[in-house]
Structure 1
């Protein structure tokens, strides 16, 4: 049987730096292949190389064969003709794949019509059905900026797979999704194996477990372990794989309780209610948040977790109730760590310049950058790149660095580990807790992972489905 995709001794370079070293794999029809590894390990570069989407400054060595035919020597037009019809890619960042001014249903209908060849009316019917099955029917007339991160991820999945490509390259397809939606995406990916092939790139060990099949574990651009997924995850041989499994939140130690203080709370919510788009998100919500305290917010996508953050940061006003701060803080002391960091960075400006603009605007100490880079395990070379040229996890840590420069009083962290591998996620959460405790910063942590929240938070609020 001919492999759907065969990669032979593939290496990827930026300048003289090797980002992926001598990667070889065979993707067989009907057999899932998952690449698991740390953020920035080169996993996503493989998908980009297959699709022909690597940045111009990157170079390749090795071969990539699609159904036995060389891909790298195909003319650009012929390679792009495979997109959607033969090769379907689910991108790591849904915002990069969606038209920012097009309504959700139309995004999917256009694929059915322009790539799948359906008549307009039939395309609209199929798009409506697909959105309903994915739990997105209420969002059919909304544009991407009106969707939660999880909703945008599901919409990007529908748009990418609507044309029915036989080979799916799924790059972090479940990040930012609650457990039920994650399992739904995994089931949809598995359903494509009946007639096609599936290559999934993820840092989520549970996704790798569910998909089964073959598994490749990568670390720093190199393959450290390769073989049957169930065998590797049950009996890992490589030190890195063992470290990865040991970093699952269920294995974390419970964070020590905050030292009680008689000081006035930084913020108090009293019987707060909020509606958006005519729908009530939550009501009668009350809590206090003190300096150094960590509050966890859990709930499915679309329940209003991010909207609660907008209330706390002063971007929205409640329909009912009151939000009271202990004092009038400066605007840059109430900050958000975004679920989708690309939305927080200008895409074509070097990250170092963006950091220095913040430093100049607020009169901050530029000497703090190298210290924070080291603390966040970031290479200083990243500062010469743009937001489009780094991994999602690296960009999230750059976003955290920018926030730490501003010494926040209240930090709303919206899914801060959704783009990080388990080891990096554990380190970032330890760092966030340490900063909250040491700096007296109140931390509001949004997460779809109830185990993580229980491990690190002093109090937890669960928001139910919208009424």
Structure 2
């Protein structure tokens, strides 16, 4: 076994993150050593990613980190942000929360992995391409090197980001939501890959909503709430007998423990596809597929990453053309009443425009009252102050809830929810699902729900379409 010996310890003490309005993260202290990873759990907006950004030196300009962040005694916060940035890809690597934004949309993915070997590790072009192909094979993407990011599913893009982080081979790996959007088999594969990094001597800080990932990684587990580390200890103890009420609620909110929600009595068909087929090259995703979604009905689609779940929803919305078959929708309604909740919420919002501006423009354009926006924001437990931030300044889970606000503002009769809760912690997921069920019952909204979580699908849907069968 090739055991790394370069950096022995990351020590964080009294870390705080401050904005002009005050502290958003307070008094964070922990130590990560070789063979002892740390996993941070907590709801969206609790400050987990800000901790990672403070360590990396990648906080937004309006935020400032104070306290101590030491790599083998060297305080990373003592110098300028440029000092930290010189460590990127060499001593510190980040597996980002939003791979869709991190990948270059104009470049094939094998070339993006190869760049790490070529320009960070100093290898020649031919060897860099060979090593990049191996990195992609390790994350079950052996033939995907010639694809562009826009040709990949969200789960596939996440695996490319993992391949890039592994290629860097740095001493400290920070994994920010490394398994979101992945099916159970790929989640377990990625978790095993992270465990291997720990066994090879790498320091690992993981941020996740997935309790199963925290349990599999072992080591230490910390729970964050409202910018504070409310408890931290050995994984076995924290995940079996937590002391804080929020930690107990977090563990109890896993969909496997939910009772089945009583489905509504469906109404008329709002959208249907008959005899649908789709293939990409020699790979057939599905053939002769029939699906109907009725008013007040939730139809769930489950299956492994890349099996065609998102493609089916896009065909029903007219975003992708089927190879054969037909799509029928109510002809008395405009296309605007058929909406999609995207798997990657950054694709919905203009990156340099405050969220308030985007939602206000949308409401004005379609004659909706701003009061409707405020009610939706409140029901989804979003702070109104977040409306004045840019999309990149809030967490992925908060941005996904704003994307749901945006979709529901247009009063849809059909919603294609593509991994709608994959960015949410278990507590927030339960709240958002409860809200979605309320909307279905109140308005008769028909929902096509794509998810990797079979327990979630079985608990809340009227019917399940299983692409694994």
Say yes or no: does 1:309 pair with 2:313: yes
RMSD: 1.5
Identify the residue that residue 218 of structure 2 maps to in structure 1: 212
Say yes or no: does 1:44 pair with 2:44: no
User: Is the 8 Å Cα contact of residues 116 and 162 (structure 1) preserved in structure 2?
Assistant: no
- Residue 271 of structure 1 deviates from its aligned partner by 1.6
Residue from 263, 268, 291 that aligns with 2:272:
268
Residue from 177, 184, 187 that aligns with 2:182:
177
Identify the residue that residue 150 of structure 1 maps to in structure 2: 155
Identify the residue that residue 410 of structure 2 maps to in structure 1: 406
Identify the residue that residue 429 of structure 1 maps to in structure 2: 433
SS in 1 for 2:23: strand
Matches within 5 A, 1:308-347: 308-347=312-351
Identify the residue that residue 229 of structure 1 maps to in structure 2: 235
Identify the residue that residue 421 of structure 2 maps to in structure 1: 417
Deviations 1:282-304 (A, max 9, x none): 11111221101000000111111
Matches within 5 A, 1:1-400: 4-193=9-198, 194-261=200-267, 263=268, 265-400=269-404
Q: TM-score, normalised by structure 1?
A: 0.96
Distance, in Å, in 1 between the alignment partners of 2:18 and 2:282 is 51
SS in 2 for 1:96: helix
Distance, in Å, in 1 between the alignment partners of 2:314 and 2:143 is 21
Distance change in 2, residues 1:129/1:3 (3 Å): closer
Deviations 1:5-27 (A, max 9, x none): 11111111222332111110111
- Residue 60 of structure 1 deviates from its aligned partner by 2.1
User: Is the 8 Å Cα contact of residues 84 and 161 (structure 1) preserved in structure 2?
Assistant: no
- Residue 277 of structure 1 deviates from its aligned partner by 4.7
Deviations 1:87-121 (A, max 9, x none): 01101100222111110111111111111121111
SS in 2 for 1:367: helix
SS in 1 for 2:182: coil
User: Is the 8 Å Cα contact of residues 350 and 384 (structure 1) preserved in structure 2?
Assistant: yes
- Residue 413 of structure 1 deviates from its aligned partner by 0.3
Which ranges in structure 1 are unaligned for 5 or more consecutive residues?
none
SS in 2 for 1:300: coil
Distance, in Å, in 2 between the alignment partners of 1:14 and 1:62 is 15
Deviations 1:297-354 (A, max 9, x none): 0011111111111111111222111211232421211111011101111111000000
Distance change in 2, residues 1:183/1:98 (3 Å): same
Distance, in Å, in 2 between the alignment partners of 1:293 and 1:46 is 41
Deviations 1:31-57 (A, max 9, x none): 111111111100000110011000011
- Residue 165 of structure 1 deviates from its aligned partner by 0.4
Distance, in Å, in 1 between the alignment partners of 2:162 and 2:169 is 12
Deviations 1:204-235 (A, max 9, x none): 11100000111111111111211111111111
Aligned length: 463
SS in 1 for 2:288: strand
SS in 1 for 2:239: helix
Distance change in 2, residues 1:78/1:260 (3 Å): closer
User: Is the 8 Å Cα contact of residues 171 and 203 (structure 2) preserved in structure 1?
Assistant: yes
> Once structures 1 and 2 are overlaid, which stretch shifts more, 311-320 or 164-173?
311-320
Distance, in Å, in 2 between the alignment partners of 1:107 and 1:329 is 44
User: Is the 8 Å Cα contact of residues 360 and 370 (structure 2) preserved in structure 1?
Assistant: yes
- Residue 3 of structure 1 deviates from its aligned partner by 5.3
Deviations 1:177-229 (A, max 9, x none): 11111111111111111221111011111100000111111111111211111
Which ranges in structure 2 are unaligned for 5 or more consecutive residues?
none
Which runs of structure 1 show a deviation greater than 4 angstroms over 4 or more consecutive aligned residues? none
Distance change in 2, residues 1:250/1:161 (3 Å): same
Distance change in 2, residues 1:132/1:270 (3 Å): same
